[in-house]
Structure 1
Amino acid sequence: MANSDQIVLLDFFPSVFGIRVRLALAAKGVEYEGKEEDLTGDKSSLLLKMNPVHKKIPVLIHNGKPICESLIIVEYIDEVWKDRCPLLPSDPYQKAQAKFWADFIDKMVYPCSKKLWTAKGAEQEASKKEFLDRIKLLEGELKSYPYFGGESLGFLDIAFLPFYSRFYTFEAFGNFSIEAECPKLVAWGKRCMEEEFVSRSLPHQHKMYDLVVEFTKKVGI
C-alpha cells in the first residue's frame, strides 16, 4: 500500500479486541493514528459514524473506510499488507482451523473469562471451571509446535495473546494458577513475548490488572 494511506484505529487501551488489532498492525509494521475512546462515558461522534451498527471498538479506518470487528480487521490487515509477515496460513484447511479456534476464543473463552472478574461466589467458580476447561482445549491445539501458527507466530496467536496479558488478572480475581493447569500455554505466552513487536504492543500483565481494578471501581462492579 502507498505510504500516503491514512490509517486510524478507534481503540480502548485495555480492550482485548483492540489489542488484537494493535498486534496485527505492529506485526506488519504499519503506522497508524490511534484514537482512544472512553467506553465508560459518551461514545465519540466518529465511533458512532464509523460503526453505527454495534457502536463498539475497535474500528480500523483505512482511507476513510471503516472495518469493524477485531478478527475481521486482523484478516483485512493480513490481506492488505500481504507482503509482510503473513498471519493466516495459505493452506485452506489450516486457514479454516485457525478461524474456527479464533471464533472459539470469542464465543467460548471470552464470556467466561470476563466473569472471572465481574462475577462472585458460585457464578465465579463455575466460570473458573469453564475457563480452564476451554483453554485446555485450546492448549491442545499447540501440539508440539512453538506457536498456534506452527513454526511462526500467526493469526490464532494474535487472537489469543490479548488474553495472555490478562492471565494475572484472571488468577488474582479467581484465586488459581493458570500455569499449574496449562503449563504449555504459559510457556507459549512467554515465547511470544520474546518477539519484539509483541513485547512492544502487549500491555504488561500487572498493568492490565490495575486497569481492570480501576475499571470495576468506575463502573461499580
Structure 2
Amino acid sequence: MALQFWAAPVCPYAQRGWIALKETGAQHEYKTVDLHDKSPEFVELYRKVVQDPVANAKVPVLVDGELEITESPVVAEYILNKFGPSTGILPSDPAQLAKARLWADLWGSYVGPAQTAILQADTKAKVAEATDKMVAALKVMDAFLRAQGSTEGGAFFLGGRYSIAEVLTTSLLQRALVYPKAYRGVDLRQLVKDNKLERFEAWMEAAFARPSAQETHPDEAKLVEHGVKFTKPMLD
C-alpha cells in the first residue's frame, strides 16, 4: 500500500490526519509510533522529511508514494485535497475556509494555553485562577462561533457542514474534556453549562459525536496515563 500514516494514538495532532483519513475513506497503512521508544526507521524518515539530521522526530508523517510530509495541518489538508474534494470539508469559498482555519488557530491561542495552565497549576488557588482563564477562553470561542460561524442546518462551525474547523480541533476538544477533569477536577462540560455558552456547547457535542471522532478517539485510560508527563504534582 503506497499510503503510510505514521502516528501515535495518544497524540492529538496526529489524530487530525487520522480523522481526515476516516472522513475521506482513503486506504492507508497506519504505522504506530511509540513516542517513548521511537523506531530508528521512523526517526530516519522524519529527519529525511525535514532535512535535519538531529531533529526530534514527531508525528504525524504521511508517505504517499514519493511524497513525504509532516506537520498535522499540512497532512490533514493534503489528505482532504487529494482524497476528499467531493466531501466539501475544505470549503471552496475563501471566506469560509479562512474562518474555519481561524477557529482552529484561536483554539491554540486561547483554550490550549488555558488547559496547560490548569495542568501546571500546583495549588488549589492556582487551579482556581487557571479555571477562570479557561472560562474566559471558552467565552471567546463561543462569541467567535456566534459572530463568524453559522447555525444554518446544524451545530458545526459552518452550521450543517462539517469542515476543516472540526478536523483540526476535535482531537484537542477530546483532551480538554479528559485532562483537566482527570488531574484537577475541572469539568469543561460543566464550565460550558454553568456559563450558558449554548453555541459552544452545541458545537462541542456535534464535533464529539462525529463518527470519525469516535473511531479515532484513544482509550481514555491511556490518555490519562500519557498526560502525567505534562501535569505538575499538586502541592496542597
Q: Shorter-chain TM-score: what band?
A: 0.7 to 0.9
Q: Which residue of 1 aligns with 2:222?
A: 211
Partner Cα distance (1:196, 1:15) in 2: 18
Per mean C-alpha deviation after superposition, the further-off stretch among 142-151 and 178-187 is 178-187
| 8 Å contact kept, 1:9–1:59 | yes
What's the CA shift for 1:62? 1.2
Partner Cα distance (1:147, 1:174) in 2: 29
Partner Cα distance (2:228, 2:187) in 1: 24
Per mean C-alpha deviation after superposition, the further-off stretch among 9-18 and 115-124 is 115-124
1:11-22 equivalent positions in 2, closer than 5 A: 11-22=7-18
1:1-221 equivalent positions in 2, closer than 5 A: 6-42=2-38, 44-50=40-46, 51-52=49-50, 53=52, 55-121=57-123, 124-143=127-146, 145=151, 146-166=155-175, 167-183=177-193, 184=198, 185-203=200-218, 207-208=219-220, 210-216=221-227
Partner Cα distance (2:122, 2:66) in 1: 43
Unaligned runs of 5+ in 2: none
What's the CA shift for 1:22? 0.9
| 8 Å contact kept, 1:117–1:173 | yes
SS in 2 for 1:60: strand
Partner Cα distance (2:76, 2:214) in 1: 18
| 8 Å contact kept, 1:10–1:47 | no
SS in 2 for 1:84: helix
* Largest Rg, 1 or 2: 2
| 8 Å contact kept, 2:120–2:231 | no
RMSD across aligned positions (CA) = 2.7
Give TM-score scaled by structure 1 length.
0.81
Judged with a 3 Å threshold, the aligned counterparts in structure 2 of structure 1 residues 219 and 91 are, in CA distance, closer, same or farther, namely closer
Indicate the percent of aligned positions where both proteins have the same amino acid: 22
Partner Cα distance (1:187, 1:97) in 2: 18
What's the CA shift for 1:124? 4.4
Per mean C-alpha deviation after superposition, the further-off stretch among 144-153 and 189-198 is 189-198
Partner Cα distance (2:169, 2:4) in 1: 23
Judged with a 3 Å threshold, the aligned counterparts in structure 2 of structure 1 residues 124 and 56 are, in CA distance, closer, same or farther, namely farther
Partner Cα distance (1:193, 1:112) in 2: 20
CA deviation map 1:113-165 (0-9, x unaligned): 23433442255444433333223222233335210133211111121111222
